[in-house]
Structure 1
Amino acid sequence: MTQPVERDFPDIERLLAAVFAPLLGGDEHVGNEAPDNLEAVVPFLRVMRVGGPRTALYDYPIVELALLTAEDVDGLPMLSRFVNLLLDKPPPHAALDYVDCDPGPRELAWGDNDAVRHWGATLFLETRKVRLVPLP
């Protein structure tokens, strides 16, 4: 008798971090919260699921992207490239069935730290259950 294949929805924060980390220079530049040494690791992309419904077959995560940079000229084009990567066909991961971005990339306030600029985008995604394999 064969063992059933275990399936579940992907951890969307880890999945997107794995997609974006190579584009930013490594894992230390992506996470779900800004590190204490933020100024030393910019650019840094915070990937955070903030909600979204789920059914037995599909998950609809809402994800906030927050790109933190030291330069005002780098942020918007960089975040726009990341969003376009997700919107393009085929998507960068087979579990992503649909991606929408609203509102699109824009500059946002980031506390009292004048050395860091904050660029944000909100993603609406549709994912399906996938065979569970460990992510890097």
Structure 2
Amino acid sequence: MQTTNSATAKYEGLGKEGKGHVSTASGALAAQPYGFQTRFEDAPGTNPEELIAAAHASCFTMALSFKLAEAGHADGTVTTSAEVTLEKQDGGFTVTKSALSTKGKVPGLERAKFEELAADAKANCPISKLLDAEITLETKFEG
């Protein structure tokens, strides 16, 4: 099984003064503002690291939910937050960390088993694997 999802981003103006909008094909995000101010100055809107955090938290939570179901559990709740850290390094910026924090409430499950399944979900959710993923780039330029 293979699925492909997409999003678009448009940035008008350049550098700090530019303003962008990001949208997802599903419509979950529609022309959400982003730019220097939303990334570094707490202006309303989103930023790439926040979107990565949302993707990682949701992917991991779903992966853990499936691991719990595979282990024979039919009921429960999993809540996860992710904090993605962006640091200035070597003249540029690098995402250096994604810290997941999860809580689970699953009747009949012991803590050790929950921790084991959570570690497996962390290692195997697609967003956790993203840093090892193949990255391709196609460019089009209009001068």
The structure in which a higher percent of residues are helix is 2
Tell me whether the two structures share a fold, i.e. TM-score over 0.5: no
TM-score, structure 1 normalization: 0.40
Larger radius of gyration: 2
**More RCO (CA 8 Å, sep 6+):** 1
